[in-house]
Structure 1
Amino acid sequence: MLLIDWINTTLKQEHIVVKSLEEDLFDGLILHHLLEKLGSLRLDVEKIALTEKKQKRKLAVILEAVAQCLQLEESQLKWNIDSIFQKDLLSTLYLLIAIAKHFKPDLPIPSNIRVEVIIIERTLTGLRTENAVEYITENRETLEGQSKADAFDELFTHAPDKLDDVKKVLLQFVNKHVGKLGLNVNDADSQFADGVILLLLIGQLGGYFLNLREFFLNPNCATEMLHNVNLAVALLTDGGLLDFPVNAEDIVNKDMKTTLQVLYCLYSKYKTKET
Structure 2
Amino acid sequence: MQFVQQHLPINGVTGSALRDNTAGNDKYFHNLKSCSLSERSYNYVFKLWILITVLKISKQHLLMEETCGGARRKTVLVAEHGPMNDENRRVILHPSARNDPRMLLLQEVLLNWVNATLQEEEIKVRSIHGDFYDGLVLQHLIEKLGAVELCAGGITFSSTTQQRKLAVVLQHVDQLLGSKCTKWSVSLIHEGDELATTHLLVALVQRFEVEIHLPPGVSVRAILIGENEVERRTETWEQLTPKEHDHLPSETDVIDLLFERAPDKVQHLTEALLKFANKHLKNLFLSVDNLAQFGDGVLLILLVGQLEGFFVPLYKYHVIPESKEHKTRNVQVALELIEESEITHTSWGVLKEDIVNVETKSLMKVLHVLYSKHKTRA
TM-score norm. by structure 2 comes to: 0.35
Instruction: Name which structure has the greater RCO, CA cutoff 8 Å, separation 6+.
Output: 2
Structure number with higher helix proportion:
1
Bigger Cα Rg: 2
TM-score norm. by structure 1 comes to: 0.47
